[in-house]
Amino acid sequence: MAKKSVPHALSGLVPVVRMRARSIEEPGRVSSPLELLFDLTFVVAVSSIVTQLAHAIAEGHVATALPNYLMVFFAIWWAWLNFTWFASAYDTDDVPYRLLTMLQMGGVLVLAAGVPSAFGEGDYGLVTLGYFIMRLALVAQWLRAAAQDPDGRTTALRYALGIAVVQALWIVRLFTTQGLPFGGQVAVFALLAVAEMAVPPWAERHRRTNWHPHHVAERYSLFTIILLGESVLASSEGVQSIVSAGSSSGEFVLIAASGLALLFGLWWVYFLEPAHEGLERNRRRSYFWGYGHYVIFAALAALGAGLEVSVEALGHHIEAPPVAVAYAIAIPVAVFLVAMWVLYRPLLGPTVIPPALSLGAAVAVLLVPLLTGAVPLAVVVLLITLVIAAVIAVTIVLRRPPTPAT
């Protein structure tokens, strides 16, 4: 008699469930409680990197800190991405799966602990250790999938091999690039990052994994909300410091309100695009869409740093000039707008926000900081927010269904 399968909702009550590919047509597929718990560790990691970038902006060192930011953020984002897509295809939620996920969570926390030293001293020891812990757990997951899912064995083994080889190269990099100039270290990092991103296409040449389009779209949406939440946290910390110093003013209220409205507007823009529908129709576009979100995510995290510095600039002396602070907000917003159009146009076709609107708004956002000096910084943030509000309003009008003829 064939052994009955265990419903996924009850798999956490069973010690071991055979790991098989989940159906891409599974109805009602949403993030599991374990995935939501896993995401909490990334709140810590993202908060750490946003804080370090905010300090660099305030001190006028953003040009030197930006490469470190992009490199460390890649490690955070790539670890989250790999877990997300694996879980979409092979989540069993049994005891081994949960324990290996806990190990990955520990790796994220180790990585987060290493962010300050990576920024301040260029010491990537802890970051690499945390990344190694996460990758070790992921290799174990893929080996388990290879052993228990015959149909996907070749793909799973390719993933395990590719991840292990590139991880070994990261460790070699840690011990062999110390004498290189900073530009050389960045070049080596970029090459290894490309190698990381080459593993999934190579592994899935034999057979594609069964990731679920609605589940993946929701997971990306939740990470977007985490990043917006970090911006709220960064702004609130700046507000608290100003209030405790007793230096609040009308400009302070305006910048706090405008910052909140800006974050709300970016959230609105992101959810204007039905990603799950596009992924369901165009699964072959998943690499472009999934990888390209690095730009969206990095921009949203950087925006949190810019907002924190803008609030801090009202109550404390900082080294960065006001126009630089304004651009620390404007550039991430403009990058977000352009990236949204670039990523969603191939996925959804002409239903996305029109290019003239997206690109025009990005240009307008980049021009607004030039008003700094003529108007207060808080007004600059308000004007950027109004540009986003205009994008939302015009899009809603354009998408409004026609009124039926009477």
- Name the amino acid, one letter, at 364: A
Residue 10, pLDDT score: 47
pLDDT 10s digits, 168-212: 999 999 888 877 888 898 899 999 999 999 999 999 988 889 899
Residue 156, pLDDT score: 95
Residue 101, pLDDT score: 95
- Name the amino acid, one letter, at 167: Q
**C-alpha span between 118 and 73 (Å, rounded):** 11
CB burial class (10 A; 0-12, 13-18, 19+) of residue 1? exposed
Nearest C-alpha neighbor of 301 from the set 37, 119, 52: 52
Domains recognised in the chain with CATH numbers: 32-203 (no CATH), 213-399 (1.20.1410)
Which residues of the chain fall below pLDDT 50? Answer: 1-6, 9-10, 406
Q: Which residue has the tokens 């960045």?
A: 186
What secondary structure does DSSP assign to 188-228, as a single string? HHHHHHHHHHHHHHHHTTT------HHHHHHHHHHHHHHHH
Residue 166, pLDDT score: 96
